[in-house]
Structure 1
Amino acid sequence: MEKLDARIRNHDREIEKMCNHHFQGFVDSITELLKVRGEAQKLKSQVTDTNRRLQDDGKDLTGSMEELIQCRVQQRNIATTIDKLTHCLPVLEMYSRLQEQMRAKRYYPALRTLEQLEQTCLPRAGEYRFCSIMAENIPKLRTQIRDTAMTQLRDFLESIRKHSDKIGETAIKQVPDCTRPTCSHRYNQTKSNH
């Protein structure tokens, strides 16, 4: 038993020696781990801060992108509107010219403008409510122009009929008196030349 005890003590000393020898390495490793832990916490804090800033910048960027998308949509809408207006403006200008010609009692040009409006401008403009209203009004306008022109023609002819005796009288006064010798001389010369 003594030998066994001696042997145990011998092994204990070797174990103690070995532990003492490796204890410093263990302490150094623990110290190193604590440093790494501190660095990891700093790194985690930096990553968290960077992530927060990135999220904030991302929100700003997302907001800017949404504004840009809205601006692009508005730009497309404006371009479409301009295109549609380019087709509608000639219709409105033509209709305005028609109204002007009717007010000025220029009925033949008004009929030509009305025909051009009906045949060319309205089909190009597309399906708009004001175009369909104009198209519906074209027969009414044509009838109105025809009726007004006929009324004016009748009035004009009636006026001529009423004043025909005065017109004839004035025309007779304008014709030189052919009973004068110079007149008959001219008449004979004209006759002999033929």
Structure 2
Amino acid sequence: MSNGFTPRIPKPADFKPESHFTEGRYKGKPRCPAWSKQAGAQCKQPAGHGTEKLYQVRACCKVHGGKSKGPPKGSKNAADPDKPRSQFVRFDQLKELEQFAGMSDVELADILVKLAMAKTIKIASETMQDEASSSKLLPVMSSANAALRTKQAVERNQLLLSEIRERQGKGNEDDEARDARTRASLALEEVLSSFEDKG
């Protein structure tokens, strides 16, 4: 029994679209270069069909995005370094980030918590107690809470690694001499052995 679903045929890697029709009523006219997943072949519409670019070479028909004018301007999903949880930075901030290059994960997490708390206090002191101020304050408080949890997780990981080093009888100098993959495999073996002991 058919469920009405038409199977989609993916575009082959060696697909090269024809620029013009070679037969039929559109013979000699530019052809839509898009791949039709339903037909499993190149689109049979003329180039720019249903758009302002009708019969322009390499122009797609309206079904395959020919009417698109690019991404929306002012998109809410655009990269914004000023958002509370943004992972992007501006070019003018790159030099400021260079001073954190030699810091450990714990130190960076501590700075992150302090910055988030300072931003929370600043917004709380500048805004009035109304719904608008609450909508500004809640995301910042949430990011401060996330930063604090990140710091706690980093500290727990550092403590676990130091305990594993002590059990193996190795100091920090020996540990730094090993590459990252060797340290990770040793830590994994230690954790697995601890589970086996408990079992």
- Normalising by structure 2, report the TM-score: 0.27
Q: Which has the higher helix share?
A: 1
Highest RCO, 1 vs 2 (Cα 8 Å, sep ≥ 6): 1
**Structure with larger Rg:** 1
- Normalising by structure 1, report the TM-score: 0.28
